[in-house]
Amino acid sequence: MAKVLIADDDLFYREIISRCIQSMGHELYSVRDGREALRLLTREPFDLLILDVFMDKMSGLDLLLGLTNISETSGASRIPTIIVTSDDSKDTEQQAREAKATFFLLKPFHPDTLATVVEQALRSSNAPRASMRSTASVAVG
C-alpha cells in the first residue's frame, strides 16, 4: 500500500482520482492547492504525488520544481509525480519534463488509465525511469 497525495483545485477531478486511488488500496491524502500539499509534505512522507498544473496559491509545476531542487541539493530521493492537466500544450509538457515529473496525464482521462499510470509511477521509484508515450500520458522523467 502506497501513501498518495493529490493536489487539485477541481473537486470533480479530486473525487475521480481519490476513488481510483482508494480502489487500488492505497492510503489517500487530498488537498486543493500546492501550498496545502507543501504543508503536508513537510510533515509526512509520501510514495506518490498527483499534482494539477493550474491551482491557486501554488501551481503543481512550481511545487514539483521546488521539490526537485531540494532533492538534488540534499541528495534525497525524489517522489514519483504524476502531473495532471487539461492543458495539452507542448510548453506545459516541457515544463513538466524540466521539473522532472514521472508522468504527464491529460484530462479528461479514464480511471483505468490513471490506475495504470499510478502503478507505473510507483514502480519507477524502484527502477530507472523509462520513456513511454501513449495518447493519454507521457513518461517525462
What CATH code is assigned to 3-139?
3.40.50.2300
Q: What is the per-residue pLDDT for 95?
A: 93
d(CA 141, CA 124): 9
* Residues 40-61 pLDDT 10s: 998 989 999 999 999 989 999 9
- Note the pTM of the prediction, 2 decimals: 0.86
DSSP annotation of 45: -
Map out the domains of the chain as residue ranges: 3-139
